A and B are shown apart, each in its own frame.
Chain A
Amino acid sequence: MTIDKLNIDKSQFKAVVIGGSAGSFQVITKILAEISPAFELPIFMALHRLKHVRHGFVEALSIKSSKVIIEPEDKETIKRGIVYLAPANYHMNIELGNKISLSTEEMVNNSRPAIDLTFETASYVYKNKIIGIMLSGANRDGAWGMKKLKGRGGFAIVQDPKECIIDTMTTAVLNITNVDLVLKTDEIIKFLNNLV
């Protein structure tokens, strides 16, 4: 299916959650650079990162983007138009009541932040009003979370494995979930900007 023919009610979505790991940095940077400044939905990003490097990631992602990108503090209120990046060495949970909470629980899939946990909690809160996007990555983290998201009525998008630098993660999603769209980076950006 091409995204031009999609019949999507813009107002049906309230949030976007994105997961990525090895090979996703360039993709994320491009998405954040080319997404419309008027894009209003909050975006939650769980990206695998070095646990002991607390600084620099937000700055690197912000260079080309007009979006406000932050690493939330615990119990931060979710605001429209903001991009929330899971901080180093914390899991990021989306809570009922429009809050983000953080946790230092055990690593999941050898990862903290774990994509599975952000996807699971976000889809629990937003049900069928969330878009999940899985990008390039070298492990299976996120596959379970995307399955939950789809099961709760969320809209599932996977970066085309053929375009991924490492396709383990996207393939893991596709193996267990019948996703809505498989898109190249440019199409993901177009899809998001169509929602504005």
Chain B
Amino acid sequence: MIEDIEINDIRYLCHIVQEKYNYDFSNYAISSFKRRILRVLELFKIENMAALNEKLKTEPAFFKIFINEITVNVTEMFRDPSLWRELRDKVLPNLFSTHDTIKIWHAGCSSGEEVYSMCLLLKENGWLHKSKIWATDIDDNILAKAKDAKYPMKNMAEVNEKNFIRYGGKGKIADYYKEEGGFAKMDTSLVEGVNFRIHDLVRSGVFNKFDLILCRNVLIYFNQQLQNDVFRMFHESLFNYSYFVIGSKETLIWSDIASKFITVNQEEKVFKKVKE
């Protein structure tokens, strides 16, 4: 089995993917991207990079699988419970004090755990019918999973439920799913109003304007140049005085748009756009 990949091999793979499918991976962060490729080689027992490149060139169906494996789809409901409290107690009340309805974008929503968290929070606080939500991802396979919303019971019990309790929800998370053969099947009526759609942060650009954008632990897979481009796109996608949330260990301080935001909560990485 192949032990390591040369940077040149990664560049060539990016070139092929760009030419044939018009996806641009050339500005993904190298170490995790390399690891994802090694993972694909191992999973599908592909001998070397040349064989992988050939498969990508000749099998469009394999490219779809490739996208699914390259992207990181590890997520949790109510990850960082203290952020969800900040949203419930400060950010959303602030928005609803001046808006009848708000528009929310979950960018890079993966298998949907965060979307369900948001809808559950909104529902518990009587805001769900006043919120329009878009949930996007680069990968249509994972979007299908988000809509279907069947999460392994093990995750539900060991991660999601514990987070929910730390967040301090009103009800019980168990009220929102049914156990089906080792899976927690979420009550999909929660996300009835959610618009799930394909969106590639690298090339799809602005498609609407929002009062709240959440993009947590997605841009960490990009290099700084690409992060900067995407930050600008988010800035353009936000109304003035609206909110932007990134992962707890992400920052926009060095980016071009840093001066157009103020920090609302440094710990939870909540920012507010204050300049067009």
Contacts and interface: CB of A to CB of B under 8 A. Distances in A.
Interface of A: 52, 54, 71-75, 87, 89-90, 93-96, 99, 101-106, 117, 121, 124
Contacts of B224: 75, 99
Given A52-B166, A74-B220, A103 B32 contact: yes
Interface string B153-193: 00000000011001000000000000000000000000000
A124 B6 CA distance: 11
Nearest to B219: A74
17 contacts: A52-B162, A52-B166, A54-B248, A72-B249, A74-B219, A74-B249, A74-B250, A75-B223, A87-B249, A93-B31, A94-B31, A95-B29, A99-B224, A105-B36, A106-B72, A106-B74, A124-B4
Contacts of A103: 29, 31-32, 72, 220-221
Interface centre among B30, B223, B254 (most CB of A within 10 A): B30
A96 B227 CA distance: 17
Contact of B30 (A89, A96, A102): A96
Contact of A104 (B30, B74, B251): B74
A37 B80 CA distance: 34
A105 B249 contact: no
B217 interface: yes
A104 B220 contact: yes
Nearest to B216: A104
Contacts, number: 66
Contact of B251 (A52, A73, A105, A106): A73
Of all A-B residue pairs in the complex, the 5 with the closest CB atoms, nearest first, are: A93-B31, A74-B220, A73-B251, A121-B31, A103-B32
A73 B31 contact: no
A17 to B, nearest CB: 14
Interface of B: 4, 29-32, 35-36, 72, 74-75, 79-81, 162-163, 166, 217, 219-221, 223-224, 227, 247-251, 254
- Tell me whether chain A's interface is mostly helix, strand or loop, or mixed: loop
Contacts of B250: 73-74
Contacts of A87: 248-249
A105 B35 contact: yes
Contact of B249 (A90, A96, A99, A106): A90
A52 B72 CA distance: 20
Contacts of B74: 104-106
B162 A101 contact: no
A101 B220 contact: yes
Contacts of A52: 81, 162-163, 166
Contacts of A102: 220, 249
Given A52-B162, A74-B250, A105 B72 contact: yes
Nearest to A90: B249
B109 to A, nearest CB: 14
